Structure 1
Amino acid sequence: MPRMSLHIRPADPTDVPALVGLITALAEYEKLTHLLQITPEKLQAQLFGARPPAEAVVAELGEGADRCAVGFALFFTNFSTFLCKPGLYLEDLFVLPAHRGAGVGKLLLKHLAALAVERGCGRFEWSVLDWNEPAIRFYEAMGATVMPDWRLCRVTDDALLHLARRG
Structure 2
Amino acid sequence: MTITIRPAVPGDLDTIIAFIRALADYEKLADAVRLDRASFGNHLFGPRPMAEVLIAELDAAPIGFALFFHNFSTFEGRPGIYLEDLFVDPAARGSGAGKALLSAFAQIAIERGCARLEWAVLDWNEPAIRFYKSIGATAMDGWTINRVDGPALTELAG
Tell me whether the two structures share a fold, i.e. TM-score over 0.5.
Answer: yes
Distance 2:19 2:9 in 1: 15
Match of 2:7, as an amino acid?
P
Q: Which residue is 1:52 aligned to?
A: 49
Deviations 1:7-60 (A, max 9, x none): 100000000010000000000000001110123312211100111110000001
Question: Percent identity, aligned pairs only?
Answer: 55
TM-score (normalizing by structure 1): 0.84
TM-score (normalizing by structure 2): 0.88
State the SS of the aligned residue for 2:80.
Answer: strand
The ranges of structure 1 where at least 4 consecutive aligned residues each deviate by more than 3 angstroms after the TM superposition are none
State the Cα distance separating 1:150 from its structure 2 match: 2.4
State the Cα distance separating 1:151 from its structure 2 match: 6.4
Q: What is the aligned-residue RMSD (CA, Å)?
A: 1.2
For structure 2, the residue ranges without an aligned partner over 5 or more in a row are 146-158
The answer to whether structure 1 residue 129 and structure 2 residue 122 are counterparts is: yes
Bigger proportion of residues as strand: 1
Deviations 1:69-128 (A, max 9, x none): 100000000000111100011000000000001100000000001100110001111111
Deviations 1:130-162 (A, max 9, x none): 11111011001001001122268xxxxxxxxxx
Bigger drift between 118-127 and 32-41 goes to 32-41
For structure 1, the residue ranges without an aligned partner over 5 or more in a row are 153-167
Distance 2:125 2:10 in 1: 31
The answer to whether structure 1 residue 16 and structure 2 residue 13 are counterparts is: yes
Distance 2:142 2:112 in 1: 28
The answer to whether structure 1 residue 138 and structure 2 residue 131 are counterparts is: yes
